[in-house]
A and B are shown apart, each in its own frame.
Chain A
Amino acid sequence: MTPRAVLEAAIAAAVAGLLAAFALRALPERVPADGMLPLFAVLCALASARLGSREEAEESRSHLGLWTVPLLLLAAIGVPEEFRLQAWGFLLAAALTVAVVSAMTRGSLPVAAASWLLAVAGGVRLFPLEPRGSAYALLAIAGGIGLLFATAHHPLFLRDPAAERERDVGAGAFLLALAIVLVAPLADWRGAVLPALAALTVLAVRSGRIDLSIASILLGLAGGFWMAAGAAAAMVGRIAGAWLRPAGLPVAVPAFGGVTLRGAAAALLYAPGGSLGFLAAPAPWRLAAAAVLAVSLIVRPLPGLVLSLVALLLLVERPGPLDRRFAAIPGGFAFGLMVMAGFSGALAPVFPAALPFELRLVLTATAVVALLVPLSSIAALLAASGAVVSLAALPVPVHSEQAGRSLAPGDSAVLAAPGASGDLRLVLSGAHVAGLPAGTPFATVEILNREGRGLRRVVEMGEVADWGAFRSGSLRSAVNRFPLEPGVRIEGIGRDAWLRGEGAIEVGSDVSWLRVSAASTLPPDARVLVERMEILR
């Protein structure tokens, strides 16, 4: 960026911020989320800064992103409170996507431009504005920029490893940095240094011999036990040498507990010859592994976000210049990440499971396609899978009825099912159960349908969680797993946002009565919270 471009960006950001502040002053009723408006306006203005010469900026139309500023202001008065933060998120995502796509239309992404975009995107994590949290956010952004610089010099991320003076960041590396900065848990300094740790790791393994395990190391840092185990095994496998590669997959599957789908998927991810080494594996292996991967993703809440990153890495990180036609892919991914910008804190504690079923399907389709087919025909399959998956993603109206019961161990409550027709699901959570591992019996639901038949269903921890287990403050103390089918209700805003540990239990249609009984084996102070009943039509 030239000094003049920096000055223009600063002026535009200042004017946008001031206008947003004036607009806020005029509005009599405000909710805390409204405080994000000036920050969003500033970030949209900064995202629209020109990142190349004036001619390049005109050609790429990067200034179009600034039109999101008046739209932000219109949304402030026109969009109801419950949708406002997401409307702003869409606009910020649009501004960033315009910036990413316009920066990449030249076929590459210079380090300076990538750093600028990352800093702008990470800026949303400054909210709510208070010194300590803001310091953590800045730390995460600085680490993310460091990661970009590290990857710009790394053989894995070089577009052309043969070129000596390569200074561009690959799209995959940029997306990886973006994802890490946006999901890093900022409750304390340990989460905030995650991007910096990632950058150090990349620098530390510069030899190129352990290239593809870098992503798994980074993700292992953010993931749970299987992630970390997989990362460690991958490191060992890579360092041990190439002899493990042909036999890597069959050895790794039982080693990682291949009897469970989660273990199998971890093996696929991290084993030498697994998904990160897929390109070197024989075609039948690729096919089989991708099929297992697809199944595991659909039936278990596995790291869809991670896999999509991997898939995108595989899509775009090829030697040679980036195909311009695919500039929209990282742009679209940046859009996806930024849409939830107003709730940026919610993702980290439940990472990577907090994905709606439909999104998991999309990511699965993306990952499978990325692994199975060459780049040239990927678009057609993406189009088809996207269209098919979208059918499942159309939100269905939910009739919700609050239940509001709290049951001590051994207690039970009888509930009359709502009159509306459709599939009924019961949303439960727990209190004082954050320390219970998955699989612990939690409650029993007895169902009487309209034909007079009874059913019994045991609910375990893992299907539900402690209501507050996924607050950023509970990140390290709670052992709960995020529910398989979460009720998904976001509390709070900005980096303080969190998802309630509600799990949805399907109880079928034509239900007449329900009895929910808390397991008598629960600790004495534990409670089963019957939150609500929902009808899906």
Chain B
Amino acid sequence: MTQETILLAFFALVMSVGPLAMIRRSHRTWIALDAGSWIAIVTALASLHSTGRALEPALSLAIVMGVKLAIFAGYLAARREDDLRHDSWIIAGMVLAVYLIAGTSALRFAIDGDEPYYVLIAESLLHDRDLDLRNQYADPSASVVGRADLVPQLGDPVGPGGEQYSRHEPFLSLLLVPGIAIAGLWGAMATIALLAALAIRSLVRMLVEGGLAPVLVARVWPLIAFAPPMLFYAYRIWPEAPGALALTEAVRNAGKRRWGWMLLWLAVLSLLKIRFALVALAMIAIVILSVRPSRRVVIAAAAVALVPMAAAWLMTGNPLNIHDTSELVLGPWWKYPRGAFGLLLDAQTGLLFQAPFWFAGFLGLLLLRKELPEPVRWGVTAAIPYLVLLVPRDEWHGGWAPPLRYVTVFMPLFAAGAALLARRAAGWIAPVGVASLLLAVHGLAWPWRLFHIANGESIAGEWLSTRWGADFSRLLPSFIRLNTAALVAATLLVLGIVLLMILPRLRVGVRMPELAWPLIVAAVVVLGITAGMRPGNVVHFEDAHVERLGGELHPHLYQVGRFAYTGGWTMRAGDAVRFRMTPGNAVLHARSDGGARIDAGGAEQVVPATAGAFAPFRVAIPRDRFEIRVLEGELTLDRIEHE
């Protein structure tokens, strides 16, 4: 029996029992739905099997999980209030089970990004009772991480005696210690899953206590719990899911005026990651200014604010850990809209494409801000300084991590926004739910694809470009490598928000026939296909649609902070690239340290040495299929674009 079969059996059990425990009366409806969906799933998978196209077990498991969870979300959304049994522990239990299944499946691949470092710190705490990781790096085989390639990260602090510390705060690792002691890496994953499930439990309680109808809450929590980004961080060893728990509890306790608990959770939030301290400090300041609590609370708040910095100072000698105050200085103006719109609309890392339910939550927070419960409003305001500092950074997109890493902590706020939007109109939930389902299935089946180099291409764009040898990526908005689609998307978003704000005041009703919308979307898809198949005006040589005969990626795939470099393709004598581009005069941006000779579409050209920098060269493109071949020397191509 394979691991996937065991996980599927466990999942079947969870899906049979869990939903039944959450409702009071309509058990038979769920049983019929459960049965019907199992039969449909088995029929569908068996039909693939019968045509000799067996799916990978992990993909089958992901599809089954995605479909069943979507059906469950739809079923729960259709219940009436008196049919719902809002026991948050039952919800947490079911969510935990799903996270454990997803996490166990994901553990078939090595953990990545910052994850192994948190585990190394935990192992050091467990076995050595210190934070010095020298022996962990020296003997990777002794670690449960299972990676022999680990070296200290760029900028990791080094102690006076040569101690090798990690840049990551050790509080999360401390939480992982019992799990690792009991069950190794799986235990670490299970610890995060437990904290994430508790975050969902807190969310449910926060929303109900905030005055939202249980029916509404039942529509929201499954799409937060079982959709990205929460689903992807719920079993990954990053501080994002525990941070979401801490913020949710802080907001919830603020709403109940339990200041001590609020401060405790804000302290936890700050200890998890020093960047979260910005949110905690802002929240404390807002609460003090808004409700003017007693002096004792203010003193406690000051202590809480200082705890993480004191801890960082004790460990590294710097109260901001590896950060410094220069990061608080405002950056160039254009970086703000780029990062802000990028977080919303970027196809690779933005809410709209990677977490559409959260995008709806953003719209809810923006358009219905006056209806927000007071503590959520405090949370939203407290998030602003963090976001203002985040968006101008070059790493606004989260770097080498699953998408939306830096905003996952705001889970309760987006959920509250989505709930408010759902209260106004529910028609958007189903399509957004289906889109979330597809994203969930994708991430569960191929977890490594969630780690993507920040080159401006999304998974979807890359896939289409590779399949058809055409630049489909340019049709999807990218704020990492700013393109026209991004400008169009940002403009449309602004216009859309303005319209949504103005229309209700003008009392203008716009009603389209129901049959028209799908056909309009179909027409847009056809336009997209037609436009995507046409050659573009700019070609980046690391893009998926370029056919490369030899050469290598520049800089290499695992270059730390790769997004800070001008990416490209390095070629030597004999190597070539083929691509499609609109004919005409173009400029080739290339770099060659010793000069090179190339054959550009049949015309021989000499590229002089560029002294380590990219320089423009004129090239004529006679037809829409073009080849550049290196005849002599070495050069790195960045892009080619029309004059």
Q: Which residues of A contact B (CB under 8 A)?
A: 8, 12, 15-16, 19, 22-23, 26-29, 48, 58, 63, 66-67, 69-70, 73-74, 76-78, 80, 82-83, 86, 89-90, 325-326, 328-329, 331-332, 335-336, 339-340, 343, 354, 356, 358-359, 362, 366, 379-380, 382-387, 389-391, 393-398, 487-490, 537
Contacts and interface: CB of A to CB of B under 8 A. Distances in A.
Contact of A380 (B31, B52, B464, B530): B31
Nearest to A385: B35
Interface stretch (B211-219, B238-246, B519-527, B607-615): B519-527
A379 B31 contact: yes
B468 A356 contact: no
B32 interface: yes
Contacts of B45: 393-395
Contact of A28 (B9, B40, B468): B468
A394 B61 CA distance: 8
Contacts of B529: 23, 26-27, 73, 76-77
Given A80-B467, A325-B32, A336 B518 contact: no
A58 B29 CA distance: 22
A66 B518 contact: yes
Interface in B110-142: none
Given A70-B521, A73-B522, A387-B38, A78 B49 contact: no
B303 interface: no
Contacts of A489: 51-52
A74 B526 CA distance: 9
Contact of A390 (B28, B29, B31, B41): B41
A390 B48 contact: no
Main SS of chain A's interface residues? helix
B512 to A, nearest CB: 12
B477 to A, nearest CB: 18
A358 B43 CA distance: 9
Contact of B32 (A74, A382, A397): A382
A391 B35 contact: no
Interface string B40-83: 11111111111111111100110010000000000000000000
A168 to B, nearest CB: 22
A12 B13 CA distance: 43
B515 A48 contact: yes
Given A27-B468, A332-B36, A390-B12, A379 B51 contact: no
B290 interface: no
A16 B50 CA distance: 30
B626 interface: no
Contacts of A66: 515, 518-519
Nearest to A326: B32
Contact of B46 (A19, A325, A356): A356
Interface string B142-182: 00000000000000000000000000000000000000000
Interface centre among B47, B61, B463 (most CB of A within 10 A): B47
Nearest to A329: B36
Contact of B57 (A69, A340, A395): A395
A325 B525 contact: no
A322 to B, nearest CB: 13
Nearest to A357: B46
B51 A86 contact: yes
B116 to A, nearest CB: 28
B533 A343 contact: no
Contacts of A488: 49-52
Contacts of B56: 397
Nearest to A376: B28
16 contacts: A15-B519, A22-B526, A78-B467, A82-B53, A86-B48, A325-B29, A328-B32, A328-B36, A329-B32, A382-B31, A382-B35, A383-B16, A386-B35, A393-B42, A394-B57, A488-B51
Nearest to A80: B467
Contacts of A89: 47
Contacts of A396: 2, 54, 57
Contact of A394 (B5, B34, B39, B467): B5
Given A359-B43, A394-B4, A86 B53 contact: yes
Contacts of A27: 468, 529, 533
B432 interface: no
A390 B518 contact: no
B70 to A, nearest CB: 13
A76 B464 CA distance: 11
Nearest to A69: B522
B60 A395 contact: yes
B28 A395 contact: no
Nearest to A382: B35
Contacts of A384: 16
B51 A387 contact: no
Contacts of B464: 77-78
Given A19-B526, A488-B50, A391 B43 contact: no
Given A78-B460, A395-B45, 5 more contacts: A69-B518, A73-B526, A326-B32, A359-B50, A362-B39
Contact of A16 (B5, B12, B519): B519
A391 B38 contact: no
A19 B528 CA distance: 12
A359 B51 CA distance: 14
B60 A83 contact: no
A89 B40 CA distance: 13
Given A328-B32, A391-B12, A356 B50 contact: yes
B47 A86 contact: yes
A313 to B, nearest CB: 17
B33 interface: yes
A28 B32 contact: no
B437 to A, nearest CB: 13
Nearest to B4: A394
Nearest to B6: A391
A438 B39 CA distance: 32
Contact of A387 (B16, B61, B518): B16
B55 A379 contact: no
Contact of B2 (A22, A23, A359, A537): A537
A26 B636 CA distance: 33
A83 B44 CA distance: 12
A499 to B, nearest CB: 9
A328 B12 CA distance: 20
B47 A12 contact: no
Nearest to B41: A390
B522 A19 contact: yes
Contact of B519 (A69, A83, A393, A398): A69
Given A332-B39, A394-B4, A394-B45, A379 B526 contact: no
Contact of A389 (B42, B61, B521): B42
Interface string B178-208: 0000000000000000000000000000000
B322 interface: no
A233 to B, nearest CB: 32
Contacts of A389: 38, 42
A328 B34 CA distance: 11
A323 B61 CA distance: 32
B51 A490 contact: yes
A410 B43 CA distance: 41
B517 to A, nearest CB: 8
A394 B16 CA distance: 18
B632 to A, nearest CB: 34
B324 interface: no
A12 B51 CA distance: 32
B643 interface: no
B310 interface: no
Contact of A339 (B28, B35, B43): B43
B619 interface: no
B530 A386 contact: no
A94 B15 CA distance: 22
Contacts of A326: 32
B64 A390 contact: yes
Chain A to chain B: the 4 pairs with minimum beta-carbon distance, closest first? A386-B38, A382-B35, A383-B35, A66-B518
Contact of B525 (A70, A328, A356, A487): A70
Contacts of B31: 379-380, 382-383
